[in-house]
Structure 1
Amino acid sequence: MPTHSEHLRYLRLLAQQFPTVAAAASEIIRIEAVLRLPKGTEHFMSDLHGEHEAFVHILNSASGVIHEKIDTVLGDSVSPAERAELATLIYYPAQKLPELKARQTDLAGWYRATLLRLIELCRFVSSKHTRAHVRAGLPESCAYILDELLHAHFEDHDKDLYYGQIIDSMLRHDRADAYITRLCEIIKWLAVDRLHIVGDLFDRGPRPDRILDSLMAHHQVDIQWGNHDVVWMGAASGSPLCILTVLKTTLAYNNTDTLESGYGISLRQLERFAQRTYGQSDVTRWLPHTDARNGAAGDLTATARMHKAVTILMLKLESQVIERNPDFHMEGRDWLQRIDWQKGTVRCGDSEYMLLDRDFPTVTPSDPAALTAAEQQVVDGLVRAFAESERLQRHVQFLYDHGALYKICNGNLLYHGAVPMTQEGEFAEHVYEGHSWSGKGLFDYCDRRARQGYFAPEGSPARQAGQDFLWYLWCGAQSPLFGRSAMTTFERLYIADPATHVEVKDPYYRLIDRPETADKILAAFGLQGEGCHIVNGHVPVRAIEGESPVKGGGKLIIIDGGFCRAYHQKTGIAGYTLVYNSRGLILRTHQPFESMEKAIHEDEDIASKSEYIYTAPRRIQVADTDEGVRKRERVRDLEALVKAYESGLIPQGLRV
């Protein structure tokens, strides 16, 4: 608690901003008015996995919120086709506006109708925000007139005449396009107060870099890291193993555009090395997954050779990292140390299996983890390329600045993976650096170690240890971001027995069906009460088999519904999103998104259905949120300042 003198010093500083009783009282009244407004809408998405076009469409549409607002405001006065056109215009104004204009026989009339509809819609979505908040989102070039349009009082104006005169002025001065575009952007900005990304931006889909660009442009976003994110964070930090791990996934899905076009990382040196070393090898097993977007046809042999080269390099470096980190307890997964090179077998658990591929031209059996000179040269070149990718470094810095292992926001606990648990339902304990960690403490520890890998001094033991830990978070059995017994990449490539390919889920995934498990986890993170929920990602919900994303008696929601195309057949849908507005929590179930081109030119929205999974007993106000707590603290400070003025403890008009 601050001492009396410290509190008085703080009030003197506050007095610089509010120098009189009247000024402080006015601010109290303003804050109390804001506290009574409905809470802003929060939008939750997870497991985007590089699916940029679907992500942009869901983001622009706010998971259908904007289309619902259009239906509410315009209703049956406008046909469904025109409402769909208006929705597409709001989602993609730069692309849709020229197309709509080209169709018109009465362009001026269309401009007037469209501007009036956008103004009405914008007035509606801005109604639960303060005028100051709305002004903050207005572009400077047209802020004054937009502010007038949105906040005009029609007891003072004839509405039709007032709007008509302003719109006619826009048309005369050829400014209608600019104002339509600005109104579309404001509507999207006001429709969602905050965006939560519950992990896994990277891998599988084609352009995670474009998703990061979109997130960096968003007005308020936070990210809960997924295991696919932390391994890219480790790659950007300079971890050779993390770099090879992300390359392995990138090549397995033939997404080299992410590296080469997205991040300017050349694979030419790797390709030449793979050609020299594996040019005569059978690389059939290493051919990448493909679809219509990433090269279903054509010669993929070069990619397959690089895939094999990277995998063997990865296995070598995994062995080195496992050896220097006994805390990881991964000794059984240093595969190159478990191969009988003469027999061509590998020991997996208590059994021995024949290798499906015995071609290891760069491995020395007496020291299998050692890199050859040529391999070391390739690895060094890749480390430099990742370090020198300005765009990748900017994206990863953003992930660190706006991300964490978990977040608590407005009574909801957000994390990507799992809280490791025992079979009996207790938090599993694991020892790192001589200390035991579990539950929330484990999350906090892992968050600190993840930051150490990027921010510790270059070349320091702490930085290397942090980089190793970023890799462990990707695939370790006790990693809160992984939550499985093992990542069976080696087994799927080298062992025929499908029993070895199984990745056993942490007991967490069985226990979360129980309400008491959700309550236990929430309590560990300091949350309790009816309105508290856990929002989780990571493991796709198999809706096609009847699995529900709502667990723990309604208190835990898994919003990984297979956003990535690679998962659509497993889940039967194309992802979930979650909307938390002043009425409660709404789960949106989405069908596959065909393409941005079709959405723009045919007004084709993502087919979705909505379900309230929590309805608040009364409308949630700003006063009920985390921001409300901060604002009430501000009111208490201002009330203390007023008392100090009234008692003469601080003179009014004080200036320092």
Structure 2
Amino acid sequence: MSPASPTYTPEKIQNDLRVLELLSNNFPNVSAASTEIINLEAILNLPKGTEHFIADIHGEHEAFRHILKNASGNIKRKVKEIYGTAMRDDAIRSLCTLIYYPERKLELLKADETDLDNFYNITLHHLVRVLQSVSSKYTRSKVRKALPKEFAYIIEELLHESPSDDDKQAYFNRIIETIISTGQADAFIVAMCNTIQRLSIDQLHILGDVFDRGPGAHIIMDTLCEYGRFDMQWGNHDALWMGAAAGNNACIANVLRLSLRYGNMATLEDGYGINLVPLATFAMETYADDPCANFTPKLNNDDILYDDKTRRLLAQMHKAIAIIQFKLEGQLADKRPEWGMQNRKLLDKIDMQRGVLTLDGKEYELKDNRFPTVDPTNPFRLTDEELELVNKLHHSFIISERLKKHIQCILLNGCMYTVCNSNLLFHASMPLNADGSLKEVAIGGKRYKGRDLFNHIGMTMRAAFNAETDSDEKDFAIDYYWYLWCGPDSPLFDKSKMATFERYFLSDKETHREEKGNYYELRNKEEVCDMILDSFDVEGEHRHIINGHVPVRISKGETPIRANGKLMVIDGGFAKAYHDTTGIAGYTLVYHSRGFQLVQHEPFSSTEEAIKNGTDIVSTTQIVELTNHRMRVRDTDKGHELSAQIDELMELLYAYRTGILKERTNGKPIS
């Protein structure tokens, strides 16, 4: 579009004059505005950046960090494309491991080298070629921002000069030789490797559930907070920890129970400094004669951290906090009767003398009838000792600075849903009626559905951490985190009940059933997915819903691609506890300029094994959807923003050239 286009009229310029005057502060004359238009047009024609979608990490920090470092296998694919015919497989593995773990792998490689200068020379040449490949889809400006400041100029010179060019080969080689001779080779290699990692993933989408089960949720959160280029759609386990951090005692009890169930003390004690001594002391005294057989922690076969005595203590603590949880949840169900959660009050349905529980008019024999802290006349009242313990645990969560930092990071980078590049991302469910229409859900006396529901839930969650929130509103917001965790109409849960009590105390598996909401079945229909996408104003020829939450049981023939390609479910079971169920160890969905690919990961051995022997996560790639043309930045949401900026700049040019706005140079009008 030319500046003289009839789209721009003096009347339109006058209407937009305030915006154009603000824009002119950054682009004060025709030259500046034209230069920016040229720059933006160039960016629009670059290949689309690579997006990675990961769900349900569940504390598996080693596998998660490795996938970030190897870009879901993309770095190895790049290296094989460049050196597949020129390097042996073991050399390729070694180079890739160096890129993933540069400091530690470098020390191992150097120990086996007799000619370090030659090793440095070859390695630096290899890394330059890999970095040239991964940076090719970015502007020089963006690449420059990703470079470490101390080496930015030198790396730029290497990236944009080809050693195969005879006129530049001596210049190129001399730079490499000088890096080595000045003793900067190690630092330079590390800088190059880290830059390759950073540029291999343009945007990271976390579709919920960083927390619980695995030992390193705090390490994952440290990584994400430093990573920067990510967004997060909150999952039910994230909401549970957010509720605990906000001071919801029922959430705190659930967090502790889950951690004890999986023997995950590292996140609580080492990660967030939660003092578990009061709980251990209380549990040992209160359940000293109780075998707590139904509360034995679920540990991995390779977990040698816990001896029999420790496992016994964990079981006692597990039961102690579970009973406290049931009491706290009963109190909260009474406090918020509008939530309809009274059916989760089961302690008052126990006949202590006969050891049976009456549920829906039917009696069930209890597997465990030891309830030393439950008063049959007032079963949901905490004993004095339990109340003191809850207060101590509450204080421990509230004062954890690292937990506060991580929750702020989650709030800053997260929400209930995201729409990005024609994809609708949310963790679990969209409440639906049986006919597939959006279900209205009551919150605080008003009813919401679809996008309005998600937006209101998001605002409610944030209100719990807003110092300016009204006290009653804040109290409701803090309480609401428990409903989000296990309420039947919660988009993060959407089941008839959470049968925690039944699983611990009743043998009849029929009582363990948790009926899923309509979404989990109806989302397999293309027309339902289209209706939901329409309701969120998601446009585009290739548009999708992307979920996590429910593990895809590959071993049972389930597929992550559903509804004729409109829905992708990418919870492949990162947590070791799910590996036997799913048959794999997680997915990464990769969206690059050619389309979608689903990377299916096998279990990760360990970081130590990867560094020492060059082992990688074994991954298989499934092509989900490829486009018939390479997507450019102009095809993305970012491209639409840049195109709008170009339109504004073209209007500014028209205003300058018609004299409606005066050009300036050095702050002075151009005469």
* Interval of TM-score (by shorter of Structure 1 and Structure 2): over 0.9
CA distance in 2, matches of 1:487, 1:472: 11
**SS of match in other structure, 1:370:** coil
Instruction: From 3, 16, 19, give the equivalent of 1:10.
Output: 19
- Does residue 1:298 correspond to 2:308, yes or no? yes
> 1:618 — aligned with what?
629
Instruction: From 279, 283, 288, give the equivalent of 1:279.
Output: 288
- Does residue 1:414 correspond to 2:425, yes or no? yes
Mean Cα displacement is larger for which, 345-354 or 34-43?
345-354
CA contact (8 A) 1:332 1:349 kept: no
CA contact (8 A) 2:213 2:577 kept: yes
**SS of match in other structure, 1:577:** strand
Aligned-residue Cα RMSD (Å) equals 1.8
Counterparts of 1:18-57 in structure 2, within 5 Å, are 18-57=27-66
Instruction: From 59, 73, 77, give the equivalent of 2:68.
Output: 59
CA contact (8 A) 1:227 1:473 kept: yes
Deviation at 1:328, TM superposition (A): 1.6
CA distance in 1, matches of 2:619, 2:75: 13
Deviation at 1:344, TM superposition (A): 3.2
Deviation at 1:346, TM superposition (A): 2.1
CA contact (8 A) 1:474 1:482 kept: yes
CA distance in 2, matches of 1:162, 1:207: 46
Identity of aligned residues (%): 44
- Does residue 1:487 correspond to 2:498, yes or no? yes
One-letter code aligned to 1:261: D
One-letter code aligned to 1:235: A
Distance change (3 Å), C-alpha of 1:349 and 1:94? farther
> 1:473 — aligned with what?
484
Counterparts of 1:496-511 in structure 2, within 5 Å, are 496-511=507-522
CA distance in 2, matches of 1:396, 1:261: 17
CA contact (8 A) 1:62 1:188 kept: yes
- Does residue 1:95 correspond to 2:113, yes or no? no
CA distance in 2, matches of 1:459, 1:365: 37
CA distance in 2, matches of 1:32, 1:294: 58
Distance change (3 Å), C-alpha of 1:154 and 1:333? same
**SS of match in other structure, 1:169:** helix
**SS of match in other structure, 2:588:** strand
1:570-613 C-alpha deviation (Å, 9 max, x unpaired) = 01111111000000000011111111111111111111111111
1:231-262 C-alpha deviation (Å, 9 max, x unpaired) = 00001111111111100000111111111111
> 2:447 — aligned with what?
436
One-letter code aligned to 1:339: I
**SS of match in other structure, 1:407:** strand
Mean Cα displacement is larger for which, 556-565 or 420-429?
420-429
> 2:177 — aligned with what?
168
One-letter code aligned to 2:661: I
Deviation at 1:162, TM superposition (A): 2.2
| Structure 2: unaligned runs, 5 residues or longer | 1-10
**SS of match in other structure, 1:587:** strand
Mean Cα displacement is larger for which, 138-147 or 34-43?
138-147
CA distance in 2, matches of 1:14, 1:431: 44
**SS of match in other structure, 1:609:** strand
Distance change (3 Å), C-alpha of 1:439 and 1:82? same
**SS of match in other structure, 1:359:** coil
Counterparts of 1:330-479 in structure 2, within 5 Å, are 330-455=341-466, 460-479=471-490
Deviation at 1:449, TM superposition (A): 1.6
| Structure 1: unaligned runs, 5 residues or longer | none
Instruction: From 175, 199, 204, give the equivalent of 1:195.
Output: 204
Mean Cα displacement is larger for which, 422-431 or 16-25?
422-431
**SS of match in other structure, 1:601:** helix
Distance change (3 Å), C-alpha of 1:432 and 1:340? farther
CA contact (8 A) 2:162 2:172 kept: no
- Does residue 1:537 correspond to 2:548, yes or no? yes
One-letter code aligned to 2:97: T
CA distance in 1, matches of 2:351, 2:435: 38
CA distance in 1, matches of 2:286, 2:470: 31
Counterparts of 1:489-568 in structure 2, within 5 Å, are 489-568=500-579
CA contact (8 A) 2:217 2:267 kept: yes
CA contact (8 A) 1:336 1:368 kept: yes
Q: TM-score, normalised by structure 2?
A: 0.95
- Does residue 1:68 correspond to 2:80, yes or no? no
1:355-402 C-alpha deviation (Å, 9 max, x unpaired) = 222222222222221112211111111111111111011011111110
> 1:204 — aligned with what?
213
CA contact (8 A) 1:453 1:469 kept: no
One-letter code aligned to 1:370: R
Mean Cα displacement is larger for which, 396-405 or 438-447?
438-447
Distance change (3 Å), C-alpha of 1:577 and 1:362? same
CA contact (8 A) 2:256 2:321 kept: yes
Counterparts of 1:634-645 in structure 2, within 5 Å, are 634-645=645-656
- Does residue 1:265 correspond to 2:274, yes or no? yes
